[in-house]
Amino acid sequence: MIRLAFRNLFQNKIRLVISVGGVALALLLILSLDAIFTGVERRVTAYIEHSGADIWVSQADVRNMHMASSSLPDSVARKVKYVPGVASVTPILYLTNNVVAGDERNLAYIIGLPENAEFGGPWSISSGQSLPAQGETILNRNIAVNSGIALGDEVEILGDEFKVTGFSEGTASLVNSVAFISMDDFEEMRGSYDTVSFLLVKVSDGESPEVVAARIKTQVRDVTAQTRTDFATQERQVIKDMSTDLITIMNLIGFLIGLAVMALTVYTSTLSRRREYGMLKALGARNTDLYLTVLAQAILSVVLGFLFGLVITLLLTVVIPIFGSNLLLVVSRVSLLKVGSVSLVIAAVSAMLPIRQIAGLDPVMVFRGR
Amino acid sequence: MTNISQVQGETLQIAHVTKRYGSGSTEVTAVRDVSLTVSPGEVVLIMGPSGSGKTTLLSMLGALLKPTEGAIQLNGTIISALAENRLPEIRLKQFGFIFQDFNLLSALTALENVAIVAELAGNKSGAARRKAASLLTELGLGERLNSLPEKLSGGEKQRVAIARALVNDPALILADEPTANLDSKIGHEIMRLLRNIAKEQGRSVVIVSHDQRIKDIADRVLWLEDGEFKETVTMAVDPVCGMSVEREKAISAEWKGQTFYFCARGCRDDFVNDPKKFHLLISQES
Amino acid sequence: MSLARRNLFQDKTRLGLSIFGVALAVMLILVLKGFLTGMNRQITSYIDHSPGSIILAQEDVVNLLGATSLLPEGIAQRAETIRGVDEAIPILSQFVILDLHDKKQPAYMIGYEPKQGGGPWELTAGREPNSKREIVFDRIFADRHDLNLGDQVEVMGKDFTIVGLSNGTTSWMTSYFFVRKDAAEDLLLASDATSFLLLTTSDGANLDDILRRLNDLSGVNALTKREMAANDLKLFAKVFSAPLKLMVGIAFLIGTMIVGLIIYTATVERQREYGVIKAIGAKNRFLYQIVLTQALFASIAGSMLGVLLANGAAQWIMTTRPQFLIVFDPVDSGQALLAGLGMALIASIFPTRVMARLAPAEVFRK
């Protein structure tokens, strides 16, 4: 009966294309939205993950970087250095502002790096220098290229002119990018000489970041110390919490659309084969044999639709960055699992109508139309 | 017959079967008090005008319809009294159906069309395909195993249908206008096939048809009109010239306690003059 | 076109399912558009309702909700000296992340002087903050997190008491909340700092003139509220336009496919019938009309149902998840109906070609 399902499905190419295509598109809705948000999560944590720090120290109760601000007095840096297990401390200054090139304005996270900073700087340089000296800045390559900025050009940040001396990779998202300048320049322009935003801490060999972070919290007042993984998780959580409802709604719509398409195609397919199914009943097929066929057909269509939807999503993952967009799509395992289950539910529910159709088939019909 | 009795060797017995549709003023009696016994190896032809109830009768014989009154018995089982969920198995294993429109599954090859019925009866895929292949080859379709129905001629399709009907070794073959959509030469072949199935394989064959030519292969011809059997005609073969003749209307002669039927006086006279000369033909009878 | 109608209605279940499928596709398009419209309204709500007509920001800052802005010291006095400027209302604002019972909620803090303005424009309960420890929350935002007047909220480590609930100050991404300016200064460790100045102008004042003079001041950027709102919208559009277009495109394709399926099936199943009609002498055009009529019917019915469903869906979404605002523009509804028509036309192409190729001799084939 499975073979029959297979053959019936492939016999009518148009119907096959529509059912598989429709399901693929509906699942694409779900997969692509998931992928967009996962991509955002990935981008949002890129800087933190690549910073090289084991621990991030921030203002008390500030547990995030994006959409948050953190301020620590300089003295804290010294106190943290003395905490046992701390190998090195790199302070950074951070705020959100615009990088202006001619008429182009690009929103960026401006990171002020101390001289010879070991950590917190760009992790992948495509050309030029890897650290900004005074009066210099390192920009994201895509942003620079899209704005027509070349190495050696001048851009305006925080009201001052900076020479672009390096291009970094992986430092851009759809909304903004990271621009690195020297801490001295940052302090001068902001007039904030005695504060830093974050402290990037590297622990000594053999020490566990969790333990050292806990130590920092107890020994230094008014700070929050998180391991790199914890900090990244907090950042991802912002995106997750923000997007949950939206994703749920889109999932529901995608599910309904997939269901409608499948129900329609399985129904029309079964309808067009009424005589054949009735004849099989006359020959002795049980209802369950025929249910199996219809269900197998539904599952097969949906599986194909799922694969297609997945392939298209993966294609988009590759194609979109090629077009210079900073939209990152990442297909996660969780998303695959979810969409896979949704597909199976669609198959099962859409098979119900035809099952009822078959149950009602009277084998005597095989003689009608004489 | 007033009782259903377990007559030895009888395949099919229907006793006083009636089928009514509707109720009150719209009640229609499609089949009225019909009784019939079919033996193994017998070919019975049911003829009659449209609307005579042939389809209804065939449907009941094939356990597709329950009679309003009366009983249908197959090999000892009263199938008309069985619950619906027992019927598929009976249909699969006891009957073989052959239809006017062939009714092959359009998406399956000839081999798969036959094999699927064997699989439904519980055979594993490999065994089912082997059975199907051998049957189809026997019927001369060895080269067409992997062809789709759209690529087969009418005669080939009907042979696939016959193979499908035989694959589960049924006791009874039911055929509905098996030659209606075939040209005369092919129709002849199919008729011969059906006869061989009865005679060589010992199955009962019940055919419903308008086609007069089928009389040639039938043992009995029943005329159904307005739901009742009006006439029963038994066929016999003239041992001298080999023609099929209706017993009831033929000239007959006795020899060694057996009655023989002839198409004309001439043949009867030839036989009476030298019976032993035609005894080979006699043994071919039934 | 009774033939068309009869064929179409012969199978009610199939027709029903197709119309429903098209309706869903149209609904999706409408809801997406409505979502975008609503979101845009939410994004600019503070700027739309805040006092004044000009906003003064740090040099090179053109958004409210983008870059951090810090104005140079003493700028408020200097701005007020410019002719035509009535009042310079300072606010100190910053994005913060609130940890509300295990959920991370981005929020935009506005520190303002209640005497001067720049705070919530509509309170549904309570009052504005009197002290450094008081806060005004958006009412939907508060409701989502089970907060009410009198409850405590932690912001950047410090506790605040909710004394007022505001309206029109939330979106699905973030929410505005209001504290006194000095409270914000404490939190951000930035005493006397100001992010933006909201400038009110006297009647009849020449805005361009004022802007020019403000921009002459060093370290600042002056723009009209409308300009800044537009910039904020552009920023968010950058994020959402690509995914949105993708979704709308998908919805359209799905709708087309569904209409295509029903028309195709209806056509193919009746090849004999149509062959007969051809044999009798009907022109191809007659048959095209049949196909088109069926397609139009299915898609128009589907589009209308889609509009209904969209309204229903929007109501349901906004009731269960009030942070979403879905606003339907009549233009969008018109576009959705057009989309439905487009689906019909495209879906008819293939079956029409099938019809055209039908040989009348089809009739005599067994």
Least Cα distance to B159 among B142, B181, B141 occurs for B141
Specify the pLDDT at position B281. Answer: 53
Q: Does residue B4 carry a pLDDT above 50?
A: no
**Quick one: how far is CA A244 from the chain centroid?**
13
Return d(Cα C236, Cα C241) in angstroms, integer.
8
B90·A284 Cβ contact <8 A: yes
Domain boundaries, chain B: 12-103+172-233, 239-284
To probe the interface with C, which of A230, A264, A322, A356 has the most C CB atoms within 10 Å?
A264
CA dist A62 → A160, A265, B245, C134 (Å)? 29, 54, 108, 20
- Tell me which residue in B85, B99, B120 faces A284 most closely, judged by beta carbons: B120
B105·A281 Cβ contact <8 A: no
Who has greater pLDDT, B263 or C281?
B263
**Closest alpha carbon within chain A to C104:** A238
A321 found inside a domain: yes
To probe the interface with A, which of B97, B112, B129, B164 has the most A CB atoms within 10 Å?
B97
Domain boundaries, chain C: 2-43+235-364, 72-218
Least Cα distance to C175 among C188, C162, C166, C186 occurs for C166
Specify the pLDDT at position A309. Answer: 92
The answer to whether the CB of C182 falls within 8 A of the CB of C131 is no
Specify the pLDDT at position B5. Answer: 39
Q: Which residues pair with B231 in a beta bridge?
A: B223
A119: domain range? Answer: 61-221
The answer to whether the CB of B129 falls within 8 A of the CB of B111 is yes
Question: Tens digit of pLDDT for each residue in A16-54?
Answer: 888 898 889 889 889 988 998 888 888 888 889 998 899
- Tell me which residue in A25, A36, A250 faces C254 most closely, judged by beta carbons: A25
Specify the pLDDT at position B205. Answer: 92
A107 found inside a domain: yes
The answer to whether the CB of A107 falls within 8 A of the CB of A176 is yes
The answer to whether the CB of C182 falls within 8 A of the CB of C143 is no
**A chain contacts of residue B177, beta-carbon cutoff 8 Å:** 370
Question: Tens digit of pLDDT for each residue in C41-50?
Answer: 898 999 999 9
Task: For A128-193, give the secondary structure using H, E and C.
Answer: ECCCCCCCEEEEEHHHHHHCCCCCCCEEEECCEEEEEEEEECCCECCCCEEEEEEHHHHHHHHCCC
Kindly state the tokens that stand for A282. Answer: 């006359």
What are the backbone angles phi and psi of residue A310, rounded to the nearest 5°? Answer: -65, -45
B97·A4 Cβ contact <8 A: no
What single-letter amino acid sits at A302? V
**C chain contacts of residue A353, beta-carbon cutoff 8 Å:** 13
Q: Does residue B110 carry a pLDDT above 60?
A: yes
Task: For C176-213, give the secondary structure using H, E and C.
Answer: EEEEEHHHHHHHCCCCCCCCEEEEEECCCCCHHHHHHH
**B chain contacts of residue A275, beta-carbon cutoff 8 Å:** 103
A vs C, Cβ pairs < 8 A, gives 169
Kindly state the tokens that stand for A197. Answer: 């935003």
**Closest alpha carbon within chain A to C16:** A264
Specify the pLDDT at position B3. Answer: 35
Chains in contact with C, where contact requires at least 3 CB pairs less than 8 Å apart = A
Return d(Cα C364, Cα B193) in angstroms, integer.
30
Averaged confidence pLDDT in chain C: 85
Q: Does residue C352 carry a pLDDT above 80?
A: no
For chain B, the helix, strand and coil percentages under 3-state DSSP, each to the nearest 5: 40, 25, 35
A132 found inside a domain: yes
Return d(Cα C35, Cα C37) in angstroms, integer.
5
Return d(Cα C100, Cα C138) in angstroms, integer.
14
Residues of chain A under the 70 pLDDT cut = 174-175, 192, 324-325, 368-370
* pLDDT classification of C363: cutoffs 50, 70, 90: low
Q: What is the CATH number of domain B12-103+172-233?
A: 3.40.50.300
The answer to whether the CB of C234 falls within 8 A of the CB of C87 is no
CA dist C29 → A72, A271, A323, C35, C242 (Å)? 48, 31, 25, 10, 14
The ipTM estimated for the assembled molecules is 0.78
The answer to whether the CB of B95 falls within 8 A of the CB of B131 is no
The answer to whether the CB of C309 falls within 8 A of the CB of C20 is no
Specify the pLDDT at position B1. Answer: 32
Q: Does residue B76 carry a pLDDT above 60?
A: yes
- Tell me which residue in A7, A279, A284 faces B88 most closely, judged by beta carbons: A284
Return d(Cα A142, Cα A149) in angstroms, integer.
10
The answer to whether the CB of B219 falls within 8 A of the CB of B233 is no
B120·A289 Cβ contact <8 A: yes
* Residue A87 and residue A24 share a domain: no
Chains in contact with B, where contact requires at least 3 CB pairs less than 8 Å apart = A
Task: Please count the structural domains in chain A.
Answer: 2
Return d(Cα C130, Cα C115) in angstroms, integer.
10
- Tell me which residue in B95, B103, B121 faces A279 most closely, judged by beta carbons: B103
The answer to whether the CB of C25 falls within 8 A of the CB of A257 is yes
Give residues with Cβ within 8 angstroms of C133, minimum separation 6. Answer: C158, C159, C160, C161, C183
Distance from CA of B147 to the nearest CA of A (A): 13
* Residue A110 and residue A14 share a domain: no
The answer to whether the CB of A144 falls within 8 A of the CB of A324 is no
Average pLDDT over residues C359-365: 58
For chain A, the residue count is: 370
Helix (H, G, I), strand (E, B) or coil at C325: coil
To probe the interface with C, which of A66, A98, A194, A326 has the most C CB atoms within 10 Å?
A98
The answer to whether the CB of A42 falls within 8 A of the CB of A328 is yes
**A chain contacts of residue C32, beta-carbon cutoff 8 Å:** none
The answer to whether the CB of C27 falls within 8 A of the CB of C313 is yes
- Out of B69-78, B101-110, C266-275, C346-355, least confident range: C266-275
Distance from CA of C32 to the nearest CA of A (A): 10
Specify the pLDDT at position A165. Answer: 92
Q: Does residue B256 carry a pLDDT above 70?
A: yes
Q: What percent of chain C has pLDDT over 70?
A: 94
Number of continuous H segments (helices) and E segments (strands) in chain A = 12, 12
Kindly state the tokens that stand for A14. Answer: 């148009």
